[in-house]
Amino acid sequence: MPDQPNGQIFSLARQVASAANGKMGDMSNARSSYEAAEVEASRQGAWAERDAFATPAPAAGQRAVYIKPSSPFTSGKLHMGHVRDYAIGDAYARFRRARGDAVLFGFGFDAFGLPAEMAAIERKVPPAEWVEACGERMLEQMVRLGFSFDYERVFYSSDEAQYRWSQWLFVTLLEAGLIYRDDTTVDWCDHCRTTLAALQVEDGRCWRCHNEVRLIRRATWFLRITPYLEENDARLPELEENWDEISLSTQRYILGRSDGVEVDLGSAEAPLTAFTPHPDAVAAASFVLLSPRHPDLETWATEPAVREQLDELRSGGWERSARDAKSVPLIDTGASVSAPWSGAELPLLVSPLVDARYGPTAALGIPEADEADATIAARAQRVGERPARGAGSGAPETRPTVRYRAADFSISRQRFWGTPIPVIHCEGCGAVPVPAEDLPVVLPRDVEPTGEGNPLAERADFVEVACPSCGGPARRETDTLDCHFDALWLWVPSAVPPTERAESMFTHPDLRHWLPSERLVAGSDSGGFVFDQRVVTKALRDIGPFAFLEHGEPFSGCLFHEMVIADGRKMSKHLGNVVDPDELVEQYGADTVRLAILYAAGPAKTLNWNDGALRFASRFLRSVWAYSQQRFGAVGDAPEDAEAAADTEFMRERLRKWCDNGLERITVGLEELQMHTAVRDVTRLFERIQDFEKRVIQRRGELSRADAEAQVAALILLARTLSPFAPHAAEALLLAAGEEDGSELLGPWPGELVLPGLSAGAQAAGA
Ligand SMILES: [Zn+2]
Ligand SMILES: [Zn+2]
């Protein structure tokens, strides 16, 4: 006999025997018609009663697996993209539990932010109320779909207990020099007296009052990510094993790495280092292009007229202006630097084109080698088309180097519904962080924003405060944090028991076994979040709390899936092609919807929803249900017939091979989160089991007891492999086969199948 997990053999044998003894085999009790709503309500009741998905404390030697689904915005309604995300994550969570791992499957709502604020303004309710109602509604939908989250661990980023830690993170990063204040350009509506986000500007007009908006410069807070770009890049190869291709390629895209060389230009008094991705063409450079964010720009842009142009460029919102070389803003500083290889003077120009290509740096302009540079050269009066000529002609000294396009970004917004920034502005002391013992800075709950003005700035009880440093009169910061900042650590709280979050959110001992998360399952548009989470994890490692995360990676595995569309187009109310998960669940049941969405497409493909997959899944579940129930009930009636059993032994042996083969494929599909292939293999396994019966009947006219028991064992295996995808129906079938209700239903994941009624010789021959 090959090595077999004994538990598996005995468990199957016991089940078959009990079925054969007629315990559950009473045909009058067998249900042949599949009533999804009834089955699902019954299983969900059983799970809730025994708290089946509470996060366990991992036992010694047990693997701790934290599966992190995407954090939904509190929109009030799950859409099909959510269902896809959670159906993949849930199948994986159930599979890992069945395998004997300790599984944490938890999430929180990304509840702050503009969409919630706008929805609350429309409905004239405080955002806090709106968000709570939305969250409750979405949780009901998740429970109805049978997602096995640890619901006790669900949190809202807008809860005081939660955003207190966003504020702690802000202060911690500020003190580490990773947050700073700088000017940025924002849209402003004079009528509403407020700044506007991009999605609040429609054709240059305010979403609320339809007046024209204008751009203003104002001070905001920035997150410094540049110190970690190199490490985020260097660690990508380590992630290749458990990160899928989409998630890796979005990380590479966000980094925007360019390989090339740098050269030293200018003089000892005013040095300038310039980059080019064209190492062989350095001597052909005819100008230098500077980013408007280059740290030494002020050294070169000294002429008042040039300064004026720069101010105009910055207040003109170049972040949003055209990025192609033909129309991108371009300023000539009038200054030049000398090229050491020729002594020639290279004109210094300024353009955000540099940022779009290499980040806030300086780049050599080489029209000969670079099409965009040629376009810029043609636009600039001082630049010739040939390499700048000077007295000498020495070979340039270059150093190989790398530039990244990814850049620091603004994290503060002039808006109400967000985490208050824990800073106090004092005339004497400047910007003073709120001391840790005074956190949280509480966001007033009773405000009904109207979209006009800045509600926080208008509340004297919020704004007026004593300076924590000198005690003098001071003002609170009235910007709030963008919800992107809350998201930087939204993967942490689930790993801490709710009652202990207030004390030890970032220091709880449980973090050490749950982090890094074994698998993030998220939409393919989450790359930016994930990139910045990877930066902040490294920062917290270096600062101290996450020192145990040696690589500074929040996720050791990652699966990005594409979205769900309908009729070949993005779902939208406007197009009238929105598919409502509630309606589908009502009509077909949760298992069918889950099975269909998993079966319809692999995660890397956009899922163009159609009813075909739904009808297929519905037919399949009904068919497995009726077929299995009937066979479980009839096994006791199959005649004991040694001669017949010997005659069909080779067929049972073939069934066993089919089962082992199918099981192996399904297991690999689940391990790799390729649920569509795993589901397909489950359906094939069912076909094989049906085929076995047909062939035995062709040969013998009926199934002997040995055949019937083998078939039942195969059907039990089928139900086990179905349970990650359609857990309600699968568990009900296991119960019908004689399994006891309880936590054992969650596992074990089957090993090789050992069929009763096969002689040891046949088992060994087949192994
Ligand atoms: Zn307005
Ligand atoms: Zn002060």
What per-residue confidence (pLDDT) applies to 393?
57
* Shortest-distance ligand to the CA of residue 191: 1
Mean pLDDT of 237-246: 96
Q: From the CA of 109, how far away is ligand 1's center (Å)?
A: 29
Identify the three-state secondary structure at position 215.
strand
CB-CB contact of 68 with 108 (8 Å): no
Mean pLDDT of 671-678: 98
What per-residue confidence (pLDDT) applies to 161?
94
Nearest CA-CA partner of 729 in 39, 147, 33: 39
Identify the three-state secondary structure at position 660.
helix
Exposure of 87 in the CB half-sphere (CA atoms within 13 A) = 32
pLDDT at 314 over 70: yes
* Shortest-distance ligand to the CA of residue 469: 2
Q: From the CA of 425, how far away is ligand 1's center (Å)?
A: 28
Q: From the CA of 462, how far away is ligand 1's center (Å)?
A: 24
What per-residue confidence (pLDDT) applies to 534?
98
Amino acid of residue 166: S
**Confidence tier at 385 by pLDDT (50, 70, 90):** low
Examine residue 440 and say whether the peptide bond preceding it is cis (omega within 30 degrees of 0).
yes
Q: From the CA of 432, how far away is ligand 2's center (Å)?
A: 8
* Shortest-distance ligand to the CA of residue 472: 2
* Shortest-distance ligand to the CA of residue 427: 2
Q: From the CA of 425, how far away is ligand 2's center (Å)?
A: 8
What per-residue confidence (pLDDT) applies to 449?
84
Count CB-CB contacts under 10 A for residue 102: 18
Q: From the CA of 663, how far away is ligand 2's center (Å)?
A: 68
Nearest CA-CA partner of 17 in 598, 716, 700: 716
Q: From the CA of 227, how far away is ligand 2's center (Å)?
A: 31
Q: From the CA of 428, how far away is ligand 2's center (Å)?
A: 5
What per-residue confidence (pLDDT) applies to 668?
97
Weakest-pLDDT range from 42-56, 367-381, 392-406, 598-612: 392-406
Count CB-CB contacts under 10 A for residue 236: 15
Q: From the CA of 461, how far away is ligand 1's center (Å)?
A: 26
Nearest CA-CA partner of 411 in 562, 528, 519: 528
Neighbours of ion ligand 2 (CB under 5 A): 426, 428-429, 467, 469-470
pLDDT at 761 over 70: no
* Shortest-distance ligand to the CA of residue 426: 2
Tokens, residue 554: 């929040």
CA angle 395, 397, 400 (to 5 degrees): 130
Share of the chain above pLDDT 90, in %: 73
Q: From the CA of 158, how far away is ligand 1's center (Å)?
A: 26
Q: From the CA of 453, how far away is ligand 1's center (Å)?
A: 10
pLDDT at 748 over 90: no
pLDDT at 649 over 80: yes
* Shortest-distance ligand to the CA of residue 192: 1
Give dist(CA 184, CA 259) in Å, integer.
29
Give dist(CA 404, CA 355) in Å, integer.
9
Estimate to the nearest angstrom the gap between the alpha carbon of 454 and the chain centroid.
32
* Shortest-distance ligand to the CA of residue 207: 1
CB-CB contact of 556 with 518 (8 Å): yes
**Confidence tier at 747 by pLDDT (50, 70, 90):** confident
* Shortest-distance ligand to the CA of residue 208: 1
pTM exceeding the 0.75 threshold for the entire prediction = yes
Q: From the CA of 166, how far away is ligand 2's center (Å)?
A: 24
* Shortest-distance ligand to the CA of residue 121: 1
pLDDT at 766 over 60: no
What per-residue confidence (pLDDT) applies to 28?
40
**Confidence tier at 626 by pLDDT (50, 70, 90):** very high
Give dist(CA 152, CA 493) in Å, integer.
12
Q: From the CA of 329, how far away is ligand 1's center (Å)?
A: 28
Q: From the CA of 466, how far away is ligand 2's center (Å)?
A: 8
Share of the chain above pLDDT 70, in %: 92
C-alpha separations of 111 from 92, 116, 165, 253, 505 in Å: 26, 7, 15, 28, 19
Examine residue 237 and say whether the peptide bond preceding it is cis (omega within 30 degrees of 0).
no
What per-residue confidence (pLDDT) applies to 2?
36
**Confidence tier at 320 by pLDDT (50, 70, 90):** low
Length in residues, the chain: 767
Q: What does the pLDDT look like over 687-700, one tens digit per residue?
A: 999 999 999 999 99
Is the pLDDT higher at 5 or at 295?
295
Nearest CA-CA partner of 687 in 758, 620, 611, 749: 620
What per-residue confidence (pLDDT) applies to 662?
96
Q: From the CA of 196, how far away is ligand 1's center (Å)?
A: 9
* Shortest-distance ligand to the CA of residue 430: 2
Rounded to the nearest 5 percent, the helix, strand and coil shares of the chain are 45, 15, 40
Give dist(CA 125, CA 114) in Å, integer.
14
* 295 CB burial (10 A radius; 0-12, 13-18, 19+): exposed
| Positive or negative: CA dihedral 333, 334, 337, 342 | positive
Q: From the CA of 161, how far away is ligand 1's center (Å)?
A: 34
Q: What does the pLDDT look like over 426-453, one tens digit per residue?
A: 999 999 999 999 999 999 988 888 888 8
Q: What does the pLDDT look like over 19-31, one tens digit per residue?
A: 544 444 444 444 5
Amino acid of residue 631: R
Mean pLDDT of 635-642: 94
**Confidence tier at 10 by pLDDT (50, 70, 90):** very low
Is the pLDDT higher at 544 or at 19?
544
Mean pLDDT of 322-344: 88
Mean pLDDT of 253-278: 94
Q: From the CA of 473, how far away is ligand 2's center (Å)?
A: 8
pLDDT at 316 over 60: yes
The terminus-to-terminus CA distance of the chain in angstroms comes to 8
CB-CB contact of 546 with 540 (8 Å): yes
Q: What does the pLDDT look like over 89-128, one tens digit per residue?
A: 999 999 999 999 999 999 999 999 888 888 888 898 889 9
pLDDT at 575 over 90: no
pLDDT at 702 over 50: yes
Q: From the CA of 470, how far away is ligand 2's center (Å)?
A: 4
Q: From the CA of 207, how far away is ligand 1's center (Å)?
A: 7
CB-CB contact of 669 with 681 (8 Å): yes
* Shortest-distance ligand to the CA of residue 201: 1
What per-residue confidence (pLDDT) applies to 22?
45
**Confidence tier at 574 by pLDDT (50, 70, 90):** confident
Give the range with max mean pLDDT: 65-74, 266-275, 756-765: 65-74
| DSSP for 56-121, written as a single string | PPPPTTPPEEEEE----B--SS--HHHHHHHHHHHHHHHHHHHTT-EEEE--EEB--SHHHHHHHH
CB-CB contact of 287 with 377 (8 Å): yes
* 543 CB burial (10 A radius; 0-12, 13-18, 19+): middle
Cβ within 8 Å of residue 277, ≥6 positions away: 258, 259, 260, 358
* Shortest-distance ligand to the CA of residue 470: 2
Strands 155-156 and 205-206: what pairing? unpaired
pLDDT at 710 over 80: yes
What per-residue confidence (pLDDT) applies to 759?
56
Cβ within 8 Å of residue 191, ≥6 positions away: 206, 209, 211
Q: Across the chain, what does the average pLDDT equal?
A: 90
Q: From the CA of 216, how far away is ligand 1's center (Å)?
A: 15
Count CB-CB contacts under 10 A for residue 36: 23
Examine residue 748 and say whether the peptide bond preceding it is cis (omega within 30 degrees of 0).
yes
Mean pLDDT of 259-263: 97
Amino acid of residue 12: L
**For 147-173, b where at least 16 C-beta lie within 10 A, e where not — what string?**
bbbbbebbbbbbbeebbbbbbbbbbbb
Q: From the CA of 458, how far away is ligand 2's center (Å)?
A: 22
Q: From the CA of 468, how far away is ligand 2's center (Å)?
A: 7
pLDDT at 7 over 80: no
